[in-house]
A and B are shown apart, each in its own frame.
Chain A
């Protein structure tokens, strides 16, 4: 069957909306990657676990402690932020001087550990969170939009604007940006690099948890959702160009739309493969991602 017979406007719109929602999720995970990468040069493999913790903690606070959803959600985000700080303090700071690859392996270990702990204490079941504002779809030109998808889009946009402000207007933000350019120079001008690294772990845990919380009503949550999200987030990060938060968000959206269109028009079995083939072609054509700068390195 040729896809021309299937293509019609409302389907196309539906694919785009689906892709945009999925993509915002990838973008948010990618944002977390970028923040830690900028301050430490390390790809944090536990980023997906922060997303998972946001969702799973909300579920735990609601079912075990009987809290209402808004309270549970706020607590979960705060709790994950604290865990982000703990990860930095206990696993990263003691070995800050090690080569980046060692730190990467440590984050892999941390992600296995977090996943194991959540599995052991909160079980292996999948859980579902109530949508924030109901499940009645909004019909738009023949395509259905879920209210929760609007939440995802809105919160992602809000976070992006927030980061723009943070990095360009606040002292802490500028200090973190300075660290990302040159750690030594930053410490010479009096920036507490260690504190900035701690802050970056907290912020990216925070972003991850917020993503996890607003996602859970759409995707549901369990102890192992972090693996795939981490993977897609990393891909989004690379696609957008490392180090650029807006590139990361854009990369996520491109990836989400690619997947959704691929499933719709070509083949649902090969949609992920298709997204990665395109990603590879892009990388070969533009080796520093869509929005990355070409870096020149001195010998």
Chain B
């Protein structure tokens, strides 16, 4: 195994330990709620990181996949009374199937055109969530979704849900690292630089792009079903165009190519508004300002920034030691 793979695995182990210890240091459910939402956002962000950062394809439609899975699982478990585990599986599977159907024609498009196609798809879905009132409950939301359960046991406590979500996040990150360190990962980097060059090297560009697109949609789908059964309520407003944009912000702010960065970005964007709550009406101004300042001063994102900070601390420490 390569050095960088081992490094990634160390990072993953660190993430796992931190997440498992988190509930013991959090004073109450309020913080747990933030952490659960952070984990869900991080799930989508790592998938998007693969798509945007490594395959070089933009998507502004992932909120749609997130919502599609959430609504499917909510509908099957609530209206049809299917077991929660089965509905969740169906939600993810449907999302994967739809993403294949959407991805095949869309991924032939490039750059801004692809952004528009995925954006349009996301908007169409969000209109469907709003207008098919008989199925989705319409704009005021889908109520009475059963709580997440595993093997027939309902998870009443938020702590249990957090553990499930955190473990799943770690699994997805593990999957990402393995994809990146496989032949696939190298192929993706090649096609990020140039489609044509990759094609000339004998890489099946279309298939690789589609694979990553579907993988990231599947991640969003998993996050979506977990979200629906954690909150037990969903509304179309959570799956709109703005959330797709927010997801992109998480990835780019994280540093785009870095999986840990995407996770940091997701938690940052989830937690920041809560930290700024005390500022009331100027919260949104500060949020915009912080976003701009971060992007200006950390061109390689939070991941790059923290790496540089760490390097700086290390040299300072080394200096201090050598002097001492």
A105 touches B120 (CB 8 A): no
- A111 CA to B285 CA in the complex, in Å? 10
Whether B252 is near chain A, meaning CB under 8 Å from some CB there, is yes
Contact yes or no, B245 A117, CB < 8 A:
no
Cα separation A288 to B123 with both chains bound (whole Å): 20
Contact between chains at A106 and B120 (CB < 8 Å): no
Chain B residues whose CB sits within 8 angstroms of the CB of A273 once the complex forms: 123-124, 127-128, 131
Interface string of A72-115 (1 = CB under 8 A from B): 00000000000000000001001100100110111011111111
Shortest CB distance B110–A (Å) = 8
Is B167 among interface residues, defined by CB-CB distance under 8 A? no
Please state if B197 and A299 are interface contacts (CB–CB under 8 Å): yes
Report Cα–Cα, A114/B287, bound state, in Å.
11
Q: Count the A-B residue pairs with Cβ separation under 8 angstroms: how many? A: 122
Given contacts A109-B295, A119-B281, A119-B284, contact A269 B131 (CB under 8 A): yes
Nearest-Cβ distance from residue B40 to partner chain A, whole angstroms: 21
Q: Which of A106, A112, A242, A287 contacts B295 (CB 8 A)?
A: A106
**Other-chain residue from B116, B127, B241, B288 in contact with A270 (beta carbon distance below 8 A):** B127
A138 at the interface (CB under 8 A from B): no
- Judge if A140 is at the interface, Cβ distance under 8 Å: no
Q: Contact check: which of A106, A120, A280 meets B281 at CB < 8 Å? A: A120
CA distance A129 to B256 in the complex (A): 43
Name the B residues within 8 Å of A289 (CB-CB): 113
For B281, list chain A residues within 8 Å (CB): 119-120
Closest to A273 in B: B127
Check A299–B295 contact: CB distance below 8 A: no
Cross-chain contact B289 with A113 (CB below 8 angstroms) = yes
Q: Is the CB of A277 within 8 A of B105?
A: no
> Is A59 an interface residue when CB atoms closer than 8 A count as contact?
no
Residues of A with Cβ closer than 8 Å to B? 37, 43, 45, 91, 94-95, 98, 101-102, 104-106, 108-117, 119-120, 227, 231, 234-235, 238, 242, 269-270, 272-273, 276-277, 279-280, 283-284, 287-289, 297, 299
A105/B248 contact (C-beta < 8 A), A116-B285, A272-B127, A279-B120 known: yes
Contact of B109 among A109, A116, A231, A287 (CB under 8 A): A287
**Please, which residue of chain A has its CB at the minimum distance from the CB of B102?**
A280
User: How near does chain A come to B77, taking the closest CB pair, in angstroms?
Assistant: 26
In angstroms, Cα B292 to Cα A266, docked, is 42
Q: Is the CB of B288 within 8 A of A113?
A: yes
Minimum distance in angstroms from B298 CB to a CB of chain A: 10
Chain B nearest CB: distance from A236 CB in Å?
10
The 9 lowest CB-CB distance pairs between A and B, nearest first, are: A113-B288, A109-B291, A112-B288, A116-B285, A116-B284, A109-B292, A276-B120, A238-B116, A273-B127
CB-CB under 8 A from A287, the residues of chain B are 108-110, 113
A105 touching B252, Cβ below 8 Å: yes
B248 touches A112 (CB 8 A): no
A43 vs B60: C-alpha distance when bound (angstroms): 13
Interface residues on B, range: 35 or more
Bound-complex Cα distance A235 to B121 (A): 12
- Interface of B, helix, strand, loop or mixed by DSSP: helix
With CB as the reference atom, state the residue of chain A lying closest to B291: A109
> Given A116-B284, A119-B281, A119-B284 in contact, is the A91-B116 Cβ separation under 8 Å?
no
Inter-chain contact B123/A272, CB cutoff 8 Å: yes
- Tell me whether A101 and B284 are in contact in the complex, defined as CB-CB below 8 angstroms, given that A95-B296, A276-B123, A280-B117 are known contacts: no
Name B's A-contacting residues (CB within 8 A): 52, 58, 105-106, 108-110, 112-113, 115-117, 119-121, 123-124, 127-128, 131, 194, 196-197, 200, 241-242, 245, 248-249, 252-253, 256, 281-282, 284-285, 287-289, 291-292, 295-296, 299
Q: Are B116 and A279 in contact (CB under 8 A)?
A: yes
Chain A positions within 8 Å of B292 at CB level: 91, 106, 109-110, 113
Chain A residues within 8 Å of B245, by CB: 45, 108
Q: Shortest beta-carbon distance, B149 to chain A, in Å?
A: 34
6 CB < 8 A contacts A-B: A95-B295, A110-B292, A112-B288, A116-B282, A120-B281, A284-B117
Cα distance, A270 to B125, chains bound together (Å): 11
Across the interface, A94 reaches (CB within 8 A) one of B116, B285, B296, namely B296
Q: How far, in angstroms, from A66 to B256 measured CA to CA in the complex?
A: 49
Bound complex: CA A105 to CA B52 (Å):
13
Name which of B109, B282, B292 has the most chain A CB atoms within 10 A of its CB.
B292
User: Apart from A227-B242, A273-B131, A284-B105, what are 16 other A-B pairs with CB-CB below 8 Å?
Assistant: A101-B252, A102-B295, A104-B252, A108-B249, A112-B291, A116-B285, A231-B241, A235-B119, A235-B120, A269-B131, A270-B127, A280-B124, A283-B120, A287-B113, A289-B113, A299-B200
Closest CB in chain B relative to A271 CB, distance in Å: 9
Least CB distance from A288 to B in Å reads 7
Residue of B nearest to A231 (CB): B241
Contacts of B131 in A (CB 8 A): 269-270, 273
Given the interface pairs A280-B121, A287-B109, A297-B196, the reply to whether A108 lies near B291 with Cβ below 8 Å is yes
How many whole Å from B305's CB to the nearest CB in chain A? 13
Please report the C-alpha to C-alpha distance between residue A272 and residue B245 in the assembled complex, in whole angstroms: 19
**B282 with A120: CB separation less than 8 A:** yes
Q: How far is the CA of A102 from the CA of B117 in the complex (A)?
A: 20
Instruction: Give Cα distance in the complex from A82 to B198, angstroms.
Output: 45
Residues of B contacting A98 in the complex (Cβ-Cβ under 8 angstroms): 295, 299
Does B196 lie within 8 Å of A106, measured CB to CB? no
| A283 contacts B117, C-beta separation under 8 Å | yes
Other-chain residue from A37, A102, A283 in contact with B299 (beta carbon distance below 8 A): A102
Q: Which A residues are in CB contact (< 8 Å) with B106?
A: 284
